[in-house]
Structure 1
Amino acid sequence: MKVVSLLTDFGDFYPGVMKGVILSLAPEARIVDITHSVEPQNILQGAFLLYHSFRYFRNAVHVAVVDPGVGSERRALVIEGKNHFFVGPDNGILYPSAVEDGIKAAYSIKEEISELVGELSSTFHGRDIFAPAAAMVVRGDYTYFEEINKEELEKLELFDCSIQGNKVRCRVVYVDRFGNVVTNLREVKGKGFYFRGVEFPFVKTYSDVDVGKPLSLIGSFGTLELSVREGSAAEMLGIKRGGGWIELEVL
């Protein structure tokens, strides 16, 4: 039995159809949903969440579809790593995770794979291309794959921060349901940060400050998070979406 994980920005309905395709072609597959709540078209966020989830599986097939270029000339990929397979569009979403795992080979998925589904739409390659590709990986069938130069893959840098003096430029990559503002900053110095008129002391745990007070810490992603104990830093700061750049002042 092979585990297939799914990560998309599809919300409801569409992932269920993908599961139907996978299970009809590879009934032995075991499907795990990582999330279908990636912000629409936010490739960086999808890549970040995949990067911080794939390692907790063993020898799995990871399907990640955040695909604003669906229906265009962008390639559809299967990347074979040392321990995992990654399936999705060639827009960078797979790249950080595949590099971390160690890329052995990369394949372009032929559009003819949609014959296994019975149709090829210009808007739902999750169903028509990527789901059957995942099933074929589970089955060990490479009929619809064509090997390509792995050096030509679309690249994406997750941790592209810069530090100059007491100024830190980083990205908000994720706002979780608690309102924690997750950044891509891994190197933290100083006693805290100042941003948009709010001081965020750097602490180890939420309980180090009083309820309702702001704080900053290294969260479970291993990166800096701006938080409010039992509150929402995103609401406090007016941040509604991940992906944008912010500049923090180091205290």
Structure 2
Amino acid sequence: MGTDVHYVDEGAGESTIVMIHGFASSLHTWNDVASAMTRDYRVIRLDLPPFGVTGPLRNAAGAIETTDLPTYRRFFDTFMQVLGIGRATLIGSSLGGLLAWDYAARHRDAVERLVLIDAAGFPLKLPVYIGLFNHAPVRLSAPWCLPESIITGAVRNVYGDACEIAPDLLRRYVEFFHGEGTREAIGKMVPALDFADLDTTVLSTLDVPTLILWGAKDRWIPPEHAAEFTRRIPGARSIMYDGLGHIPMEEAPQRVMQDLQSFLGTPDILRTPVQV
């Protein structure tokens, strides 16, 4: 697709895990979880466009493309093909969770296990920090003038406890959001986000061991959506984290890591639903 993609490929296990971050995040959100998993798995994580170091997709003329769901499908399919990943466990957060379950539905034999962390998919009102980009004045001015307080406010909003955010982590979010073309690309992307058009009926046809992880204090995607994913995906297990927000793997990596290790080490035959 003519795009340089920032990704990390580490570990030497026989099984492959691909981690997919959410809106306005980057592969760094997986730092602590990934470092623990590389002892036993090949772990791949990437910066989705238009975020992180990857930045926006551009056409042949250099203009920024709109990153809608069909574009994301083509991008992620191509990424998996280029790296020669025929089968993997997918761990997706928020927007990355949507891409993970959508990929599993379209590539039935390519996903070994599926982990959805505060995943998108069902209709919802966009969080205020994202919905801002549905307003033309914000879209037009954001590439040149977007108060840093909006970015830091959004990051604090995705944590259950904003006091847990390290200053260097907050700075990383700010700097990536000011990447070349990133804010313009987000302005094109947000109006194209329409979860009402997604075919979530395919969830009931998934035949893959699935774990649903969710922060009980998620202010971006309602915790009720965790129950809906669990209900629709046959045999899915669900764990709700008290006190955590939208990105529990970044806010409390040790808690998430423990549950991931337990799930990944469980034989496929033990696929009875569990609600925790």
TM-score by length of 2: 0.33
Relative to total residues, which structure has the larger helix share, 1 or 2?
2
TM-score by length of 1: 0.36
Which structure would you say has the larger RCO, counting Cα contacts within 8 Å and 6 or more residues apart?
2
Relative to total residues, which structure has the larger strand share, 1 or 2?
1
